Amino acid sequence: MINKQQIMVQIPSDAAEAQTKQVTFEEFAAWRPENGRYELHDGVIVEKAQPLGGHELVTGFLARKVTVAFDFLNLPYFIPRKVLVKPTENQSGYEPDVLVINEKNLVNEPLWRKTSTVIYGASIPLIVEVVSTNWDDDYYMKQGKYEAMGIPEYWIADYLGLGAKKFTGNPKQPTFSVYQLIDEEYQVRRFQGNDRIISPSFPDLNITAQQVFDAANAELIN
């Protein structure tokens, strides 16, 4: 979730004066504080707002289910706490809600040791974004960037049905979208209600779209 307020990084000049400007990824990575969540969108730093409780419950539910799925397959994957995803073609860096990393490919990642950043799709079996009010970022901007990076699978969990009608139906309703990279382009399947979510990467995943949406109210159901 993004607060579109621009956060300007101060870059000291030779005269020891501070000036504001759009920043490079390298400047952003060096500046990014330990506390708080920030992303770089085409040279502009934006602060990610504090997520709603439902958003965090859905994120935690999906992280748990995905971890079980890749452990079952004995895959060398893990879900990091704070890693950046950097498209190679522009000055951007994203911090997804759930990011699955293939640790075997990290040896090929030039920015991994210095800035905990991945740039290759081969390092990223799956990215998950849980939709908040910034739904257009997830459905448009990030979908295009992740596709260009060659990330094989991308999920959008729109548990409130906030996206445009072409994504969530008419009338709008909660929708879970699975984007699969085929011939360098994403093909999408959408799941609603009691549809079982089909994941090409994790065929044994056994959850329905409704289970994901219900997770947003888990503290009321349990």
Strand duo 126-130 + 153-158: pairing: parallel
Contact 172, 163 (CB under 8 A): yes
Question: Residue 13's pLDDT is what?
Answer: 39
Beta strands in 26-94 (DSSP E): 38-41, 44-47, 77-78, 84-85
Would you list the domain boundaries of the chain?
A: 51-221
Class of domain 51-221: alpha beta
Helix, strand, coil shares of the chain, percent, nearest 5, are 30, 25, 40
**Residues written for the chain:** 222
The residues pairing with 78 across neighbouring beta strands, listed in sequence order, are 101
Q: In whole angstroms, what is the distance from residue 48 CA to residue 22 CA?
A: 18
Mean pLDDT, the chain cut into blocks of 10 residues (222 residues total): 46 34 90 88 90 95 98 97 91 96 98 96 98 92 96 98 97 97 97 98 96 88 59
Phi, psi for residue 105 in degrees, rounded to 5: -95, -5
pTM: predicted TM-score of the whole model, two decimal places? 0.89
Q: Give Rg (Cα) of the chain.
A: 18
- In degrees, rounded to 5, the angle at the alpha carbon of residue 167 between the alpha carbons of residues 164 and 170 is 70
**221, 205, 135, 116: which is closest to 174 by C-alpha?**
135
- The dihedral sign for the CA sequence 58, 63, 64, 65: positive
What is the structure's pLDDT at 11?
43
